[in-house]
Amino acid sequence: MDVSKFSQLLAKITRTTSTQKCARSIRVALQSSGAKIQQHPVAASDWGNTLQKLGFTKIMPQFDRPQKGDIYIIKATSKHSYGHIAGYSGSDWVSDFKQRTYDVYKDKKVTYEYYRLPN
């Protein structure tokens, strides 16, 4: 997978509101940048194993110093049964829209998973 291409594809997403299709948006960007995805979950919160099969490593969240191509997942909650997934373009967190911050749920009780491709 080409991290630069993935980041460029994310940067082209300019919507400012969600379409509720974050997992689809990230999947398309991953596939368009060379990721071979055979089967994939529908829910964003279930994408961790798929990312690891693609070579991503689960690491401690690093929202204060993200790197191009990093991906985070918000696990499902009672209010958001599908969770959320977004990638870092090099300047912004992007899912199906350009986010103002990683903290899209504004809920202190959410569980984050954070993934990075090794160099």
Residue of 79, 90, 83, 71 whose CA lies nearest to 26: 71
pTM over 0.85: yes
pLDDT of 82 reads 96
- Contact criterion met (CB below 8 Å) for 36 and 76: no
Domains of the chain: 3-116 (3.90.1720.10)
Per-residue pLDDT tens over the stretch 88-118: 999 999 999 999 999 999 888 899 999 999 9
Alpha-helix runs per DSSP H in the chain = 3-11, 22-32, 48-53
pLDDT in tens, 33-72: 999 998 999 999 999 999 999 999 999 999 999 999 999 9
